[in-house]
Amino acid sequence: MSRIIKAELYKILHSPAPWGIAAGYFILVSILVPDHSGDVSFFRSSLYPIPFMIFMQIALALSMIGNEFDQRMLQGYVASGNKRFHIFLGKLLVYLLISTGMIVVTLLIHSLYGLITRGEAIPFGTILFLLPSFVGICMIPAFLAFVFKDIGRTLGSGLIFYLIMIVSLNNASISDKSVYLPFGHSLLAYKDILPSDLSGLLLIDAVWIIVLFAGSFLAFRRSDLK
C-alpha cells in the first residue's frame, strides 16, 4: 500500500488541481469569515462556512477519484497486480489528507489571525474534537466517487447532496438534527452549543465514517472497471 500512497503523493505534487482547489477553498472561506467576526471569534467564524464549502470537497473528489476512474488510472493500478483494498485505502488516505487538511489549515490560519489581531485563544481541543466530523464530511464525496466511478454521475449526485444539505441547514430545527450529521457538528461549534459530553457526537462521527468507508470499499471491491 505504501507504493500507492507514494504514487498518489507524487501525482499531487505534480498536479495543479488539488492545489488550486485548496487555494480556492482558503480564499472563499476568507471572504466569508469577516461577515461573522463581530463578537464571534475568528475561529468560530471560520467554522460557519465549512458545510457550505462542501462543493470544494466534491470538486477534490472529482479530481482525485472520479477523474482517475474516468481516465482509467485506477484500472492501471489493478492491472499491475495491486490489491484492490490497498488501492482503495491509499487513494482514500491521500484524498482525506488533502481534503481534511484544507479545512484544518484554513481553520488554523484564521485562528492564528484572531490570536494576532484580537488575542483570541486557538482552541486546539475543539479542532481536534471536530476532526472526525471533518473526515466524515470529506468521506461523503469520496463515497459518491467510489460508487459512481466517474466524473459526471459523481458530480450530479454530489450537487443533489449539496442542495439537500443546504436546504436542511436552513431548517429551523437544524440545531436538534445537527447532532446526527457530520456537517452539523461544525454548525453546533459555530453556535457554541456543543453538548458538554462529546462522546455521543464522536460516536456519531465514527458511525458515519465506518458506514461511508465500508460502503465505498464494497462499491469498489468486486466491481467491473471500464
Partner 1 sequence: MDSIVMEVKGITKKYRDHAALDNVSLKLEKGKIYGFIGQNGAGKTTLIRLITGLAFPTSGEIYLWGKTGDAQLQQQRKRIGSLIESPALYPYMTAYQNMEVQRIQKGIPDKSIIDKTLELVGLSDTGKKKVRNFSLGMRQRLGIAIALLNAPEFLILDEPINGLDPVGIKEVRNLIKKLNKEYGMTILISSHILEELYNTATDFVIIDKGRIVEEISEDELNEKCKQHIEIKTPSSEKAIMVLQQKLSTDNFKVMPDGTIQLYDFLDDLEKVAGALAEDKILVTGLSITGDSLEDYFLGKIGGAAK
Contact 102, 22 (CB under 8 A): yes
- Give the nearer residue to partner 1 in terms of CB position, either 7 or 179: 7
With cell 458506514, the residue in question is 211
User: Which of 98, 137, 129 lies closest to 15, judged by CA?
Assistant: 98
Question: Can you read off the three cell numbers belonging to residue 185?
Answer: 457538528
| Smallest distance, partner 1 to C-beta of residue 151, A | 14
Q: Judged by CB under 8 A, does residue 3 bind partner 1?
A: yes
Please report, for the chain, how many H helices and E strands are present, in that order. 12, 0
Binding flag, residue 121, partner 1 (CB under 8 A): no
Least gap, CB of 210 to partner 1 (angstroms): 24
Q: Which of the stretches 12-20, 30-38, 113-121, 132-140 binds partner 1 when contact is defined by CB under 8 A?
A: 12-20
Closest distance between partner 1 and the C-beta of residue 6, in Å?
Answer: 5
Distance CA 105, CA 158 (A): 24
Instruction: Measure the N-to-C terminal CA separation of the chain; round to a whole number of Å.
Output: 23
* Residue 90: CB minimum distance to partner 1, A: 9
DSSP string, 41-69: -HHHHHHTTTGGGHHHHHHHHIIIIIHHH
Q: How many CB atoms lie within 10 A of CB 29?
A: 24
- The residue count for binding partner 1 (CB under 8 A) is 25
Q: Is 16 in the site for partner 1 (CB under 8 A)?
A: yes
As measured in angstroms, the least distance from the Cβ of 5 to partner 1 is 9
> Looking at 8-16, 97-105, 116-124, 131-139, which segment touches partner 1 (CB under 8 A)?
8-16
Residue found under cell 487538511: 101
Please report how close the Cβ of residue 194 comes to partner 1 at its closest, in angstroms. Answer: 42
> Among 132, 127, 133, which residue's Cα sits nearest to residue 112?
127
Lay out the site mask for partner 1 across 64-103 (x = CB under 8 A, - = otherwise).
Answer: -------xxx-xxxxxxxxx--------------------
* Residue ranges in contact with partner 1 by CB under 8 A: 3-4, 6-7, 10-11, 14-16, 71-73, 75-83, 222, 224-226
